[in-house]
Structure 1
């Protein structure tokens, strides 16, 4: 009773195509993908910020003064030409030396 069958999914997809029209679906899918990509990057940034703050609290300021100077952060854009949502991102760090 709680499961959705294949014909119900096809009915929902058919209604969506009728309501939005076939011409607008690619634009809608593109906007949804962009929104999900932004959400993913923001949640990753929040996790990174939380980890950075925890490390600073436990290590104190001495770790910052003895570390090598960090290069300028790179910016990543959500979509080509979209400069309003660009934000700096942390580069992955190579923790294995050898």
Structure 2
């Protein structure tokens, strides 16, 4: 779909975007998009680090307890309770 765009198409697209948002708002828009991308990358890195930490601690716990399987069953708590009824 985008493979058929050439230089003129991109130039026209840029002019349309400039007309829609205005020249004054484009730098602020680019700055906010850059900050959002930076936050997203940081959160993704934190999630990967958290996964690595969880995997290593799970493997360590399994080795300490002598378990042959490194996975631990999750405990769940039932949250199904009747709502309070006032008379």
Cα distance in 1 between the residues matched to 2:12 and 2:59: 55
Per chain length, whose mean CA-contact separation is higher, i.e. which structure has more relative contact order (CA < 8 Å, sep 6+)? 1
- Deviations 1:27-78 (CA, angstroms, capped at 9, x unpaired): 0000000000000001111111111100001112999xxxxxxxxxxxxxxx
Q: Which residue of 2 aligns with 1:10?
A: 11
Q: What is the TM-score when the length of structure 2 is the normalising length?
A: 0.65
Secondary structure of 1:60's counterpart equals: helix
What secondary structure does 1:22 align onto?
A: coil
TM-score (ref. length: structure 1): 0.58
Instruction: Say what the alpha-carbon RMSD is for the aligned residues.
Output: 2.2
Structure 1, unaligned stretches of length 5 or more? 64-98
User: Mind listing any 5+ residue stretches in structure 2 that lack a counterpart?
Assistant: 65-87
Shift in Å at residue 21 of structure 1? 0.3
Q: Which has the higher strand share?
A: 1
Which structure is higher in helix share?
Answer: 2
Moved over 4 A (4+): none
For the pair shown, the structure with the greater C-alpha radius of gyration is 2
